[in-house]
Amino acid sequence: MAASARQTGLKRSKVVANFLSDQQQMINDKKGANQMARNSMVLSSCQRIFEEEDFNVVITTSPEEGLSLVLDTYFDVVLCDWMMPGLDGMDVITRLEETSPGSAVVMITGYPSIERATEAMKRGAMDYVAKPFTPDEIIKAVDEAIQRKEGEERKVIERFGALTKTGKISLPSIDEKMLQTLSAAIDERRQMEAKPSLEALSEPERLEEMTLAVLNKYARDTNNLIPILQAIHSYAGYLSYETIGLIARELKISEHEIFGTASFYAQFKFEKPGQHLIRCCTGTACFVGGGGVILEAVESKLDIVPGQTTKDGMFSLERVACLGCCALAPVVTIDGEVYGQMSPAKLSRAIDKIYRTESVKSD
Ligand code: FES
């Protein structure tokens, strides 16, 4: 069996190749040893073909070993012979569907037939290559399999992303009490270790402590990635790049994977929110009443657009489609408090008042 990875710098750009003779099961032990040596030559020449094309390659002659390799590492493509000792290519496809659904499988056979090709594709193989093949043929099959698999993934992501962004899919809220309990447990432990309390730590230190506690709470299981992200997001108000890096290191997965998962959901923010959140409604009732003008006025006053936070970290701005109180249109909320019949001047005064209050607090 062989495995390789295209060197794009992305962790997932890898290929597993498995080349075993179709006749292997029909020969006796002694000849079997000779056959294995020939297979190794096929494997090493395939390895060379892929490496010359900038793939990273891992090879193995055992389908079981190949499947356990796939469990540990993500591979873009699994090249798999149809007939192998113990497992056939169809078994491998079925097992890969469970353990590495993102890998594209390319089946190889010395006995090509339409029935076999149809069966392989029905089970989820991305391509089917007949032996003997030239280097160009196998590279082309692998490239096309990667592209097809990525195309399929993109479609799923776009569909899922569209549903989550429109709020048709939303995450269940996290139990705030759990965060309080974790926080109390951290303080208790730190007290026993004669260390300062969470409150006394700097923000990054506090966040690191809480992130590690949340990871432990969820048994550091990647299946719990979403609740882990939710809990940390709920605690910090956003997912910082440092936090994503820490989670990636602790769970031994890529930052890319975490970001990819979190960015599905509109609930997750990646920038530290301002101390105060202004939400401007531009739904139909509010827009007709001047919601658009109010939004423009606040954008100009704070020099930010929706989704951004002022440089001083004081305000974040969001545009919403309806706040559920259209009778008060145009509506703005500041830190959850509803301001009806809003106007640019009224909003400007409300912002100035907050600045004054904050400056008194810091004096
Ligand atoms: S449209 Fe603005 S509150 Fe409904």
CATH code for position 65: 3.40.50.2300
- Of residues 46, 96, 43, the one with CA closest to residue 67: 96
Q: Is 342 in the pocket of ligand 1 (CB under 6 A)?
A: no
Tokens for 172? 């269940």
Q: What's phi and psi for 40, nearest 5 deg?
A: -60, -35
Ligand 1, residue 284: give the atom nearest the CA.
1
Specify whether 291 is located in the same domain as 241.
no
Per DSSP bridges, beta strands 2-6 and 55-59 are antiparallel
pLDDT in tens, 21-76: 433 332 233 333 334 444 555 677 777 888 887 777 777 777 787 787 777 677 77
- Give dist(CA 22, CA 12) in Å, integer: 29
Whether residue 126 contacts residue 147, with contact meaning beta carbons closer than 8 Å, is answered with no
Q: Is residue 269 part of a domain?
A: no
Nearest atom of ligand 1 to the alpha carbon of 323: 3
End-to-end CA distance of the chain: 69
CA of 117 to the centre of ligand 1 (A): 56
Q: Are 320 and 282 in contact (CB under 8 A)?
A: yes
Residues 228 and 123 occupy one common structural domain = no
Residue 329 beta carbon below 6 angstroms from any ligand 1 atom = yes
Let me know whether 37 and 121 are in one domain.
yes
Domain-embedded: residue 237: yes
Residues 147 and 189 in one domain: no
- Asked if residue 351 and residue 294 are part of one domain, the reply reads yes
Element (H, E) at 78: strand 77-81
| DSSP conformational letter for 54 | T
Do residues 186 and 155 both lie within one domain? no
Q: Is 171 helix (H, G, I), strand (E, B) or coil?
A: coil
What is the Cα 31 distance to its own chain's centre? 47
Position 268 in a domain: no
68, 119: one domain: yes
In a shared domain, residues 137 and 187: no
Of 215, 239, 262, the domain-final residue: 262
User: In angstroms, what is the span from residue 279 Cα to ligand 1's centroid?
Assistant: 11
The CATH number given to whatever domain includes residue 283 is 3.40.30.10
DSSP label at residue 57: E
Residue 285 in contact with ligand 1 by CB distance below 6 A: yes
Structure tokens at 346: 């009224």
pLDDT of residue 21: 42
Q: Is 322 in the pocket of ligand 1 (CB under 6 A)?
A: yes
Distance CA 126, CA 96 (A): 13
Helix axes 203-217, 176-192, angle to 10 degrees: 110
Sheet holding 337-339, edge to edge: 315-320, 276-281, 332-334, 337-339
The answer for residues whose C-beta is within 8 angstroms of residue 213's C-beta and 6 or more apart is 182, 185, 186
Does one domain contain both 65 and 141? Answer: yes
| Alpha-carbon span 325 to 147, nearest angstrom | 48
Q: Are 88 and 30 in contact (CB under 8 A)?
A: no
**Distance, CA of 22 to CA of 251 (rounded, Å):** 39
Q: How far is CA 355 from the centre of its chain?
A: 38
- Is the CB of residue 248 less than 8 Å from the CB of residue 255? yes
What amino acid is encoded at 164 in this protein? T
Strand runs labelled E in 111-192: 127-130
pLDDT tens track, the chain, 363 positions = 334 333 322 233 445 555 444 333 322 333 333 344 445 556 777 778 888 877 777 777 777 877 877 776 777 788 888 777 777 777 888 887 777 777 788 888 777 677 777 777 777 777 778 777 788 888 888 888 888 877 776 666 566 555 555 544 556 666 778 888 888 889 988 899 898 888 899 988 999 999 999 999 888 998 889 889 999 998 888 898 889 999 999 998 888 888 888 877 777 888 888 999 999 999 888 998 999 999 999 999 999 998 889 999 999 998 888 888 888 899 999 988 899 999 999 999 999 999 998 887 766
Q: What confidence score (pLDDT) does residue 291 get? A: 93
Q: Name the domain count of the chain.
A: 3
205 and 145 within one domain: no
To test ligand 1's pocket by mutation, which of 279, 280, 295, 322 has the most ligand atoms within 8 angstroms of CB? Answer: 322
134 domain-assigned: yes
Domain contains 166: no
Residue 290 lies in a domain: yes
Its domain, for residue 184, covers 176-262
Task: Pick the atom of ligand 1 nearest to 291's CA.
Answer: 2
In the prediction, which pLDDT does 206 show? Answer: 92
Looking at 137, 161, 185, which one is the last position of a domain? 161
Q: Is residue 267 part of a domain?
A: no
Q: Are residues 37 and 126 in the same domain?
A: yes
- Note whether residue 190 is domain-resident: yes
CA distance 145 to 105: 7
State whether 200 and 130 are in the same domain.
Answer: no
Ligand 1 pocket, residue 295 CB under 6 Å = no
The predicted pLDDT at position 9 comes to 28
- Only one residue has tokens 């495995």, namely 3
320 lines ligand 1 (CB under 6 A): no
How far is it, in rounded angstroms, from Cα 249 to Cα 232?
16
What is the Å distance from ligand 1's center to 328 Cα?
Answer: 8
What angle in degrees, to the nearest 10, is found between the helix axes of 203-217 and 241-251?
40
